[in-house]
Amino acid sequence: MGNGKWIEFASLVVLFLLWAALANLAQSRVFPDPVTVGYRLVDLIRSGPLVRDFSLTLARSLAGFVGAMAIGCLLGILFGRVTWLDRFFSLWVVIGLNIPALVVGILCYIAFGLTDLALVTAVILNKVPLVTTTLREGVRALSADYDELARIFRLARWRVLLRVHLPQLVPYILAAARTGLSLVWKIVLVFEVIGSDGGVGFRVGLFFQNFDMAGLLAYTVTFVGLVLGIEYAILRPLEERSRRWRNP
């Protein structure tokens, strides 16, 4: 483990200890200590809902994320390349960026009913403008010098796309993925609270109604673990791989 990773690990331990200390100081039912939350977590895993809820939320988030990234990347590349198309749709993108996520979610629930289709559609509609904007900037920043090189050496179109353009767009795609992922989690959870019969958001709603702080924190800890897992197992290795040529 590198020095930077030790610091991050130490920071996590300090956060955990701080939680334990504050909980012991507060001695309140609404602020349980890590051990109580740990027992509740084991209980929730054994009794079943936790794994089921996280599987549901994960599947919905993944569907929304993949859909939004695919559509957003495609639109971003198109808008970055075709000026008139960008001009025509730029206002749509601004509107899309500024409509509250909740409004989109409720509209989708009304239109499609309280279904997974409505939820995933709402997630996609909320996230696509953000991905589109990021990728559009990436396409606009593509190097004209490298395009000239590609033309002079008569590179095939697919080769230009894969070897010249895509590597320049990777930082933008990763930025869109990172910000998009955090946005998707939040939107999915809120929509599950509003109109779903399962998933982390639905369960959090139930915990809220029963003032079950230990359950709420058990889900939060699991959620944080999942997000950190994705960060360290997928996003960071991808980023490091995409940047390795900078510091060979």
Partner 1 sequence: MAKPIDIRVRITRFEYAGSVLFNDFALTVPAGQSIAILGASGVGKTTLLRMIAGDQTGAGVEVTVGGIPAAASPAAGYLFQDARLLPWLSAAENIQLVAPNLTHADIADLLAKVGLPGQGGTYPAALSAGMQQRVGLARALAVQSGLVLLDEPFAALDPDTAQKMRETLASLTGGKTRIIVTHDPLDAAMLADRVVMLTGRPARIGADFVLDQSGGGDLTDRLDRVAGAWARLGATA
Residues that bind partner 1 (CB under 8 A): 145-146, 148-149, 151-155, 159, 163-164, 167, 245-248
Longest dimension (CA), the chain: 73
Least distance from partner 1 to the Cβ atom of residue 145, Å: 6
226 token code pair: 């999942």
| Distances, alpha carbon 140 to alpha carbons 95, 144, 225, in Å | 21, 10, 37
Question: How far is 88 from 74, CA to CA, in rounded Å?
Answer: 16
Taking the least distance from each CB to partner 1, the nearer of 113 and 167 is: 167
**Given the complex with partner 1, which of 138 and 195 has the nearer CB atom?**
138
For residue 129, the minimal CB distance to partner 1 (Å) is 29
Q: Give the whole-angstrom CA distance, residue 143 versus residue 160.
A: 12
Least Å distance between CB 102 and partner 1?
41
> Which residues does 221 contact at the CB level (< 8 Å), separation at least 6?
37, 41
Identity of the residue, 36 or 242, whose beta carbon is nearer to partner 1 in the bound complex: 242
Please report how close the Cβ of residue 233 comes to partner 1 at its closest, in angstroms.
23
Rounded to whole angstroms, the Cα distance separating 57 from 153 reads: 48
Contact between 131 and 180 under an 8 Å Cβ cutoff? The reply is yes
Instruction: Compute the least distance from the CB of residue 152 to partner 1, in Å.
Output: 5
* Burial (CB count <10 Å: 0-12, 13-18, 19+), residue 15: exposed
Q: Given the complex with partner 1, which of 5 and 159 has the nearer CB atom?
A: 159
Is 120 or 169 the residue whose CB approaches partner 1 more closely?
169
